[in-house]
Amino acid sequence: MTDLPDPNLLREIIEDQKFDELEGKLRGIDGVVKMFQSRSREQLLEQYGNNRLPDPPRKTFFQLILEALNDLTMIILSISAVVSLILAFVPIGGEDHSDEPNTEWIEGAAILAAIVIVVLVTAVNDYSKEKKFRELEKAKDDQDVNVFRDGSERTLNINDLTVGDIVIIGTGDKIPADGLFLEGTNIKCDESAATGETDLLPKDRSKPFMRSGCVVNDGNGKMICIAVGPHSTWGKTVLDLQVEPEDTPLQVKLDDIAKLIGYIGIVFAAITFIALLLKWFVRTEWHPSGSDYVEIVQFFILAVTIIVVAVPEGLPLAVTISLAYSVKKMMHDKNLVRTLAACETMGGATSICTDKTGTLTENRMTVCEVVYGSSHFTENIPDSESSEVNASVIDHMIASASVNSTAFIEIGEDGSQKACGNRTEGAILQMIGQKFKADYAKVRAAGKVVGLETFSSERKRMSTIVDLSESTFVEAMSSATQQVTSQGVNARLYTKGASEVIYALCTHFLEVDGTIKPIDDTHRDMIKRSIHSMATNSLRTLCLAYKDLATPVSPSEQSEWDEVVSGLVCIGIVGIKDPVRQQVPHAVKQCQDAGITVRMVTGDNKTTATAIAKDCNIWRQGGIVLEGPEWRAMSDEQVDAVLDDIVVIARSSPQDKLRLVKRLRYHGEVVAASGDGSNDAPILKQSDVGFAMNIAGTDVAKQAADIILMDDNFNSMVRAVVWGRTVYDNIRKFIQFQLSVNVVALVVAFVGACITGESSLTAIQLLWLNLIMDTFAALALATEAPKDEVLKRKPYGRYTSLISPLMWRNVLGQSVLQIITIFILQFSSKVADYCDNKADLVKYPIGEGEMTCYHRALIFNTFVFFQLFNEFNARLVNKGEHNIFRDIQHCPMFLIILAASIVIQIILIEFTGLVFSVEPLQFVDWAICLGLALISLPLGVILRFIPMPDRIACIEEKKKLAEQKEKDASAEEGEEGLLDEEMKEVRKPVPEQ
């Protein structure tokens, strides 16, 4: 293997563009091809590996434990517990109570044990979360490329590329590995990702270096891979820049809420500590003995524990769990989430701007109708054995479809055919293969292409110039070429595109008998009727044409192409059917019921677009269908006047869709948009949520998108809405539950300390409550599965408050019930006497005036079951919801955690004794605890019948919307730049929901 060049040398040749070393050490491009193709795949893999990047360093479980411990409150609590243990075992002030059982160590040890449990649970959650993120990152980079390997054309996963593979590249593709240009036409690359320079760089044999991670902005061709994976320039950059995923906007927002609640907790904790300290001084008559100082440490531990309980670590944890769970499950719904913020933002979407082909339709293109000359064939399209159409017409169709195309047909092991690349082109290739038994690959290989005008949405055409002097092409296309070579024609232009556009450039047409006739009004009317007929039947029409040239030309400027592409001869018009996906009409109806307006933006003509919009339920009575030129001629004021009624923009360009997205956002809409082309990248960036097509999408579009639709299906976008709303609801459920527990815990601890000098809930009990309401509740409430009923209500507004009036009603109602109940249990003399009579004072001794362990057990048990039953109430956060048990059987995580919490609570009460400062309760007292806690369920029903608005907008909503409009207006001019400039912009932040 020593005679193979070092992989780092190959990368340096590409990175530093060392042409001299390429020619000298590697004997040029041909030498590289010969060297690598003479080696076996195993040898190349052994020396260079594949194109898969190594996994980034992953934090060990021990590192995650250290991170969980690296929390100020946890550190303070740990130190306090250790001090408590030391004071429990070291006599202070010379006092010796060795004849008395020492129980003062129990609380300190129990707190340390609780800290260990909390840290371990946090570390396990973080470990699981990180694992899920790694899996998602791998799925995100899972793409296919077209290559020549072992003498045939095939599709490979990008990770399976090896040195020596010949990759087919085209407009919009991201270069998958470092390589050298082999052949191609008009290839220009945007290498700004590697160099920062925005100029498009042409590639040919004199400038062959192609960097991985860069984008092909124009042209088509082939390159040979010479550096892959970590040895490529892109791989090296990625490995150097690996970072942890950023928090989503909702996580940031909830972090702020958590900090605010935490500050309130600190204030309560400080007041509680001061109150307990003053009570302690009064009780000890300002002359405490040595052992009394242990209580000060216990007061401090209680105060810190109140802070731990108050700080709702579960808020960001709930978001993380919900997002990680949802993103993983969304993969099953064919949604690959690249930006976590998109998941939650999609829940508030009010408008969807969607493409047609492949998204609303099956992207299973089939040629159903053909116009040759003056004949329109709607059934039984003529084949090579038919006498209805002259052979020269067929040959022109074969030549145009083969040469003027980048698609190819992949043959499966079972003999099945799959069109790869542009599906419209693939449909025509399949037609010439099935009808004319023609080998497009042979014809394409025989044609010497001297000029190529790639397709663009502005021109709506693609053109290719072929040198006819090559004998191989003459042999492959005998009928069509021999007819003109004798007349001194040495080149031919083939073009195809939108039927109205290309036919308008034609001056003649091929009649079915092979003769060339001038276009007159009769033929023009016939073509117009045929196009309208096909469009009415939802067929997409393409016109194929050609032009004979005296000499081969290779236009370099667009003006030169416009001059050449004129005076064409119409070969024929094909009508291509792409059936509407079966699920789409219902999915669109679901969106409309959910308050989401669906608009279709397509390149089809107005008639075809309207027909498809009706098939998809997008068109509605009073809806407006515009064409691109009409849309572009309208002022912003005119657009705004009809914006709500626009349902379809036909004959559109990406700039038309970009303008639509901007106007919708300008008026406060939360916009989702789909796209598949390189020119769609600014649209995907500008929208609140950008969806790129996985099958038909270019790499540029995928890089700009937030979510990739793995099946290119509109129904998958609707599933993203369902998941987005579910995430939002699940977070609100947890907030509602969290606030109830926080309010009650803080008030009970504070008031109890101020009135009696001790809290009815000990530090270890509060830590257990913290575990229930943070980690366990986050898992239970943040992982509920989505329900289609979320689509039956209107979306949340962009500035809708996270905590609704309905939620505040439920929080305050449940909190008041719990506080009153706990205070009755704590301060009622009858309850105290009842507990005193049942307390085992020998087994669990207490100080004078202190609450008995039986009394504490009764309060603690009731409080815990209040929270467990309140988890059912927390499942309802929206107006019109009443059944807390609905679909509970489909929430296994909720039921498992509830059951586990109950079992653990029974164990704590019955078997932990002084560790939790409790006494085993008798059966009747268990019934009392459960009966009191169960009151929260009927109270929840009563509360839900109290009329309240289901949402409230922020006070400054109008101000924020006005500010956004002003920013959008000021940025309007700058955002109209070229695509390469658009791609350099920082993505506009998604406004908070």
Buried b (16+ CB within 10 A) or exposed e, 86-111: ebbeeeeeeeeeeeeeeebbbbbebb
Residue type, 804: S
Identify which of 338, 325, 330 has the alpha carbon closest to the alpha carbon of residue 142.
Answer: 338
Contact 353, 599 (CB under 8 A): yes
Instruction: Give the C-alpha separation, 895 to 882, whole Å.
Output: 19
Instruction: Give the C-alpha separation, 871 to 869, whole Å.
Output: 5
Identify which of 603, 365, 431, 427 has the alpha carbon closest to the alpha carbon of residue 500.
Answer: 603
Encoded tokens for 38: 């003479």
Active site (annotated) includes residue 20: no
Instruction: Give the C-alpha separation, 232 to 229, whole Å.
Output: 6
Q: Tell me the DSSP string of 411-462.
A: EPTTS-EEEES-HHHHHHHHHHHHHH---HHHHHHH-EEEEEEEEETTTTEE
What sign does the dihedral 974-977-983-989 (CA atoms) show?
positive
Encoded tokens for 111: 């707190």
Instruction: Give the C-alpha separation, 155 to 371, whole Å.
Output: 34
Distance of CA 300 to the CA centre of its chain: 46
Catalytic residue from among 355, 548, 676, 712: 355
Identify which of 961, 964, 965, 592 has the alpha carbon closest to the alpha carbon of residue 800.
Answer: 961
Encoded tokens for 266: 């600190």
Contact 170, 217 (CB under 8 A): no
Residues, the chain: 993
Q: How far apart are the first and last CA of the chain?
A: 59
Residue 516: CB atoms within 10 Å: 14
Backbone angles phi, psi at 240, to 5 degrees: -75, -25
Contact 509, 519 (CB under 8 A): yes
Identify which of 897, 902, 892, 888 has the alpha carbon closest to the alpha carbon of residue 930.
Answer: 902
Residue 748 burial (10 A CB sphere; 0-12, 13-18, 19+): buried
Instruction: Give the C-alpha separation, 905 to 899, whole Å.
Output: 10
Distance of CA 823 to the CA centre of its chain: 48
Instruction: Give the C-alpha separation, 655 to 288, whole Å.
Output: 80
Q: Is 401 left (phi over 0), alpha (psi -120 to 50) or beta?
A: alpha
Q: Are strands 166-170 and 215-227 parallel, antiparallel or unpaired?
A: antiparallel
Contact 208, 17 (CB under 8 A): no
Instruction: Give the C-alpha separation, 759 to 917, whole Å.
Output: 12
Contact 117, 77 (CB under 8 A): no
CA atoms within 13 A on the CB side of 390: 17
**Nearest 10 degrees: CA dihedral of 673, 674, 680, 684?**
50
Contact 429, 443 (CB under 8 A): no
Q: Is 353 left (phi over 0), alpha (psi -120 to 50) or beta?
A: beta
- The structure tokens 């009460």 sit at 909
Which uninterrupted H or E stretch holds 227?
strand 215-227
The CA-atom distances, in angstroms, between 671 and each of 146, 340, 354, 690, 722 are: 33, 16, 11, 9, 15
Q: What residues are labeled active site?
A: 355
